[in-house]
Amino acid sequence: MDLHNIRQDFPIFKNQPNLVYFDNACMTLRPQCVIDAVRKYYEEYPVCAGRSAYRLAEKLTADIEDVRANVAKFIGAKKEEVVFTKNTTEAINIVAQGLNWQEGDIVLGTDKEHNSNLTPWLKLVKERGIKYYAINPSEIVNKIKELKPRLVAVQSFSNLDGTKIILSPIIEEAHNCGALVLVDGAQAVPHEVVDVWRNDYKDVDFLAFSGHKMCGPSGTGVLYGKRELLEKLNPLLVGGGAIANSKYDDYELLPLPEKLEAGLQDYAGILGLGEAVKYIEKIGIKNIEAHEKELNNIVTNGLKDEEKIKIIGPADSLLRGGIFTFYINGVSSHEVAIMLDNMANVAVRSGQFCVHSWFNANEVADAVRTSFYFYNTPEEAEKFVEVMKNIIKIY
């Protein structure tokens, strides 16, 4: 990877030449090609797709469907199995609200799920009488055998500490027991090769991910589902664009994917997402993965022997993808983040990263999360180590 050239693609580095951006697990930066695609929509065909017959609308419809086909190819799916959403959260809620639950149905997740893959299930506990269990990942296969869940809803990589959950035994055991598997791929699709019919994701039933965590525009996301399962989902929203016909007392839904995409969509965002996927493919997901590990190794090796720094997750950086999360006993994570910003222009996330449940259960107040992407440099990682060493001298 030619980091110098890559960084030239990101206008933020021209506007903020000293910025060290390490909040990539929340939202990544955007290259010029994505910004151009968004602008092109507003400048050249700012109309509605999928409804009208004039040429501008037809062109937009064709371009949106091309993006759908490319996104599908990117994850090894079929075009009609890709539903555009606002984000991972919406994708998971579409499944949670769309399945036909019976009281007592069981959903299993891990004990480090993001609120977006926890609270949609807890809402069903409150409203429909299902049962939800948060399980240590090492026990999840056994718990599937024991509890015979209806659905297993697990993340692939933890946004808390970057730990990877090995999915294939979970998917296999869940299917043996007749359960469905939803994977929260928000921290996976941008960082490792995901193929819903190959590798660790093989045979997954639903996969949710966000465009803004992989260089796409804000408020873009995807729900993948096996066709026969998406067909059975009761839509979260109904209305324009999802309806084939209506009378005063009834309506008929369109087939997939429109059935699950009611209302005018974020066409600019979808076009930008299409460019983001192409851009990431050009960089190469395997290169991205290796580069993140290299940066994580620099930071981990630089700070692992500092007594004041408590790393969350495994000590071995190779087991934490592109995430390095830590806390200093008795010190507010926000204070550390503000110092990193003020002293060295380093942007990191502080707080509980929407995994309050883990912080509550483990009685840790909060933490600082450093998360890398392919445009970050080894020099930035070294600078972070140096500044952190200066910060801990204060305490």
Ligand X SMILES: Cc1ncc(COP(=O)(O)O)c(C=O)c1O
Nearer CB in complex with ligand X: 25/82: 25
Q: What letter would DSSP give residue 26?
A: T
Q: Among this protein's residues, is 354 annotated catalytic?
A: yes
325 within 8 A of 311, measured Cβ to Cβ: yes
Nearer CB in complex with ligand X: 6/95: 95
**How many other β-carbons are positioned within 10 Å of the β-carbon of residue 234?**
12
The continuous run of DSSP H or E covering 132 comes out as strand 131-135
26 binds ligand X, rule: CB under 6 A: yes
DSSP letters, 225-261, are E-HHHHHHPPPS--STTSEEEEETTEEEE--TTGGG-
210 binds ligand X, rule: CB under 6 A: yes
Stretch that binds ligand X, among 15-23, 146-154, 179-187, 264-272 (CB under 6 A): 179-187
**How many other β-carbons are positioned within 10 Å of the β-carbon of residue 286?**
10
- Nearest approach, Cβ of residue 212 and ligand X (Å): 6
Nearer CB in complex with ligand X: 97/210: 210
186 binds ligand X, rule: CB under 6 A: yes
- Interface mask (CB under 6 A) for ligand X, residues 250-279, using x and -? ------------------------------
Nearer CB in complex with ligand X: 87/357: 87
110 binds ligand X, rule: CB under 6 A: no
Q: Which of 26, 48, 177, 354 is catalytic?
A: 354
| Cα–Cα distance for residue pair 290/251, rounded to 1 Å | 50
Q: What is the largest CA-CA distance in the chain?
A: 71
Which residues in 46-105 contact ligand X (CB under 6 A)?
Answer: 87-89
| Cα–Cα distance for residue pair 267/84, rounded to 1 Å | 10
Question: For 91, phi and psi rounded to 5 degrees?
Answer: -60, -45
- Nearest approach, Cβ of residue 58 and ligand X (Å): 31
- Nearest approach, Cβ of residue 116 and ligand X (Å): 4
Q: Kindly give, in sequence order, each residue whose CB lies less than 8 Å from that of residue 118, ignoring residues fewer than 6 positions away.
A: 109, 134, 357
Q: Which residues pair with 134 in a beta bridge?
A: 109
> Residue 21: which region, alpha, beta or left (left: phi > 0; alpha: psi -120 to 50)?
beta
Alpha-helical regions (H) of 77-178: 88-98, 119-128, 140-147, 168-176
210 within 8 A of 186, measured Cβ to Cβ: yes
Stretch that binds ligand X, among 113-121, 141-149, 163-171, 225-233 (CB under 6 A): 113-121
- Nearest approach, Cβ of residue 187 and ligand X (Å): 5
Binding ligand X by CB under 6 A: which of 24, 93, 97, 117?
117
Binding ligand X by CB under 6 A: which of 61, 110, 116, 357?
116
Say how many residues touch ligand X, by CB under 6 A: 15
Nearer CB in complex with ligand X: 61/87: 87
Nearer CB in complex with ligand X: 329/360: 360
Give the side-chain half-sphere CA count within 13 A for 294: 15
Which residues in 311-350 contact ligand X (CB under 6 A)?
Answer: none
**What sign for the dihedral angle of Cα 232, 236, 239, 241?**
negative
Binding ligand X by CB under 6 A: which of 30, 68, 114, 259?
114
Interface positions with ligand X (CB under 6 A): 25-26, 87-89, 114, 116-117, 155, 159, 184, 186-187, 210, 221
Which residues are catalytically annotated?
Answer: 354
